[in-house]
Amino acid sequence: MILPIVAYGDAVLKKKAKEIDKDYPKLNELIDNMYETMYGAYGVGLAAPQIGLPIRLFLVDTSPFADDEDLSEAESEQMKTFKKTFINAQILEEEGDEWAFNEGCLSIPEVREDVFRKPKIKIQYQDENFDTHVEEYDGLIARVIQHEYDHIDGILFTDKLSSFKKRLIKGKLTNISKGKIKIDYRMRFPAMSKKR
């Protein structure tokens, strides 16, 4: 089932999300629904706060990036198959010189800005079976993980922009939070959800 994606301005996107355990109700169904929602919106990642749940869960599937001409064949192959569910993730280390990448977010449609992040991460997380893994990533995969990880800490990519850039996009963000935007996937806007 496709779930509505929470738009910029909703308080749930600002919350530090909580850990979950095996007993979280209908977790497998939730994960399936989140994948369906992400694919339906042509996203490469989706975090639980974006469908209104302040829990430490996010998904990544970088296959849409595989066709990027800037990638080497090895990188492209890696993108094609990288699909993973991260539960209770903790980034343990981030290192290297920050690099810029033009990021977007399903909760903030039609806004894209260069965001600076470190290129290498070490992350600990649990998979769907609650087995714990510690893994290292770099490049574009690390980038997508960092973006989604920020969501479970209540941080949006727009929070990381310069105050100048923030001023430039303020009007756009206000419009998104009021639902004054055309999108081709289901969204839930803060102003509307109050009435329900």
Conformation bin of residue 9: beta by default, left when phi > 0, alpha when psi is -120 to 50:
left
Q: Tell me the pairing of strands 132-138 and 99-103.
A: unpaired
Give percent helix, percent strand, percent coil of the chain, each to the nearest 5. 35, 25, 35
Shortest Å distance, C-beta 22 to Zn ion:
27
80 known member of a binding site: no
133 known member of a binding site: no
Toward Zn ion, which CB reaches closer, 107 or 126?
107
Toward Zn ion, which CB reaches closer, 12 or 105?
105
Contact region with Zn ion (CB under 5 A), list: 69-77, 81-89, 105-113, 126-134 = 105-113
Toward Zn ion, which CB reaches closer, 50 or 78?
50
Tokens of 68: 């990027």
Give me the DSSP letters along 83-128: EEEEEEEEEEEEES--EEEEE--TTSTT--EEEEE-SEEEEEEE-T
Shortest Å distance, C-beta 109 to Zn ion:
11
Shortest Å distance, C-beta 169 to Zn ion:
15
Q: Is 57 in the site for Zn ion (CB under 5 A)?
A: no
Shortest Å distance, C-beta 151 to Zn ion:
6
Q: Is the dihedral of CA 97, 102, 105, 106 positive or negative?
A: negative
Q: Is 105 in the site for Zn ion (CB under 5 A)?
A: yes
Question: For this structure, is 148 an active site residue?
Answer: yes
Contact criterion met (CB below 8 Å) for 150 and 123 = no
**Helices 139-152 & 73-81 angle (0-180, nearest 10):** 40
Toward Zn ion, which CB reaches closer, 76 or 106?
106
147 known member of a binding site: yes
Q: How many residues belong to the site for Zn ion (CB under 5 A)?
A: 1
Residue of minimal CB distance from Zn ion? Answer: 105
Q: Could you say which DSSP state residue 161 is in? A: S
Which residue ranges make up the site for Zn ion (CB under 5 A)?
105
* Residue numbers annotated as active site: 148
Known binding positions: 105, 147, 151
- Output the known binding site for Fe cation: 105, 147, 151
